[in-house]
Amino acid sequence: MSSAGNAGQIIYKAFTPTLKMALCILSGFVTTKAGMLSPSATKGISLITMNLCLPCLIFGSMVSAFTPQNIAAFGPLVLVAVMYEILGLLCAWVVREIAWVPKDFRWGILVMGVVSNWGNLPTAVVQTMAKEAPFDPAVDVDLGVAYIAIFVLVMNTTFFGLGFHKLCAWDFTDDHAAEDMLPFKQRWRARFERLQRLLGRRKQPRTADAEIAIADEAADEAADHVSATLEVPLERVDYRPAAESIATSVTRVGTQRGDAESKRTKPRKRSFTSRMEATPRILATAPLDSQATTAAESVQLTSDKGYTSGSVYTRGYGAEPVAATAAGAPRRARKWAAALLKEIKNTPPPTWAVAVGLPCSLVSPLKALLTDVPGWTGSRMPNAPDGNPPLHFILETAIFLGAIAVPMALVLLGVSFARLTVPSRWRDLPLTAITLMTLAKMVLIPVFSVFVVQAMQKNTGLFPPEDKIRTFVAILLSGTPAAANQLVITQIYNPAGTAHTLASFLLLQYSLMFIFSTALAAIALYIVAS
């Protein structure tokens, strides 16, 4: 067959799963617009899908596919997943520095760079493409889903386990509302001057006139820059208070060295650790569709007690009051136990599925209870009367329930798009930031992954050529859009219950997904087939 025929086959194979995803998303969009799915109904469906069906899919795939021989893929895939998260964070930071980002998304854009949709979208592609050559349908379908579960584990650990989702709340706190409002040039000039003063290389301006002069200059340059390049109506954005705040803070750092006040550390509200501690945690089981979530429900979804719906966004970051107890401070062991219990309660079910699936996949006696294991089944582990392993019905049930996870998650994604609201005027959107962020997640990171994975395949044993599905998954998951869970978390943390800016970013990414994902899948298929 000619090379053109091979290229046509590859493109068609890559386009088919993308079309299947598009139809599922479209069905959710249409049924919602037609009024056939109420918010309460979709909320219940999302909870069932996330907390029951998806864990069953992960568990069934891992037990069926993982063996002591191919578990070696766990380390390389974790390495690649972390690498994608770090690269996404750097890209988001660069976009925030060089382009205008609304003040309700200056921290959320960093979250978007890190977390990606590593669940339903790539699973749908793998389940379709792994059924045909050059893959082995008998093994690679389940193995591909199991490999994707490793990425899901890394994403959940970062987003929920490490508390990265809390950054979504920082866009709505009073002490962050005016941060980073100056354009690129003024921000970095202030930072450079502060660095110089900290290093003792520049004399401190000591008069109030000098502080006002710096503030006025920064404000004027900010207004000129925004008016000339960003085309943002100046009457809607007041840059002078931000300029005064930043210029004043820059001027006062390191002054009055002989004064005891200048020797104090930064206020607690400026500490990253204290911000994370003061921001309430959202349960990892938050529904995918939260449009109907009320303020009271938002409080119930937080795991930290003692917060009201208003305190989520406006509370100070000062010292927390400590309740006095008769026994004094609790012992360290009790603190660790309480912290461990808290983390266990907030661990999402998909992560539990991975934690349970790994030993059941690798420990022969446990695996022999569920599925056939050479040397154990029928001999050291007697079969049930039906000729199957004793607990084979558990594995069958998990696979049966897991089969509906991916299509229902795609339908719910269409439901979320049907209920999104974005600004009606194009000039109100941060078009430059939206475009750059989309190109970073859908083009830049995938191109980087193609070269890196191919280099690992040739120079290391991390991606052996015979394990085609491992290489395919590693490349495919580099170009997925941002995670839809961020939409839920942002709506919960926002007092208004909306996420309009985030929605505008998501809409472009998911709209172009059908083009970029098809191209990336075709490239990955070509690499593993060659």
Q: What is the pLDDT of residues 64-79, one digit of tens each?
A: 888 887 888 889 999 9
d(CA 190, CA 365): 63
Q: Domain residues of the chain, as ranges?
A: 3-163+346-529, 184-273
> Is 16 a residue whose pLDDT tops 50?
yes
Q: Mean pLDDT, to the nearest integer, of 488-497?
A: 82
Q: How does DSSP assign 453-482, residue by residue?
A: HHHHHHHSSSS-TT-HHHHHHHHHGGG--B
Please tell me which residue, 266 or 437, carries the higher pLDDT value: 437
Positive or negative: CA dihedral 202, 203, 204, 207: negative
State the burial class of residue 140 (Cβ atoms within 10 Å of its Cβ: 0-12, 13-18, 19+).
buried
Q: Which residues pair with 302 in a beta bridge?
A: 282
> Is 325 a residue whose pLDDT tops 90?
no
Per-residue confidence band for 315, with pLDDT thresholds at 50, 70 and 90: very low
Please tell me which residue, 63 or 332, carries the higher pLDDT value: 63
> Is 320 a residue whose pLDDT tops 70?
no
The count of C-alpha atoms lying within 13 angstroms of the C-alpha of 147, restricted to the half-sphere facing its C-beta, is 29
For the ranges 148-152, 327-331, 403-407, which has the lowest average pLDDT? 327-331
Per-residue confidence band for 328, with pLDDT thresholds at 50, 70 and 90: low
Q: Mean pLDDT, to the nearest integer, of 35-61?
A: 86
> Is 141 a residue whose pLDDT tops 70?
yes
What does the pLDDT read at residue 214?
55
> Is 208 a residue whose pLDDT tops 60?
no
User: Above pLDDT 90, what percent of the chain?
Assistant: 27
Supply the mean pLDDT for the chain: 77
d(CA 277, CA 265): 18
What does the pLDDT read at residue 476?
95
Token digits for 51? 């907390």
Closest residue by Cα to residue 229 from 395, 431, 5: 431
Q: Mean pLDDT, to the nearest integer, of 292-310?
A: 39
For the ranges 205-214, 241-250, 263-272, 310-319, which has the lowest average pLDDT? 310-319
Enter the DSSP assignment of 71.
G
Per-residue confidence band for 153, with pLDDT thresholds at 50, 70 and 90: confident
For the ranges 69-78, 143-152, 337-346, 496-505, which has the lowest average pLDDT? 337-346
First to last CA, the chain: 15
Structurally, what CATH architecture does the domain formed by 3-163+346-529 represent? Up-down Bundle (1.20)
What does the pLDDT read at residue 324?
46
Most confident range (mean pLDDT) of 195-209, 337-351, 456-470 is 456-470
User: Above pLDDT 70, what percent of the chain?
Assistant: 73
Token digits for 509? 């990414």
Q: Mean pLDDT, to the nearest integer, of 184-191?
A: 72
What does the pLDDT read at residue 423?
65
d(CA 388, CA 459): 43
Q: Given its phi and psi angles, is residue 231 left (phi above 0), alpha (psi -120 to 50 degrees) or beta?
A: left
For the ranges 114-128, 136-150, 330-344, 500-514, which has the lowest average pLDDT? 330-344
Are 506 and 482 in contact, with CB atoms under 8 Å apart?
yes
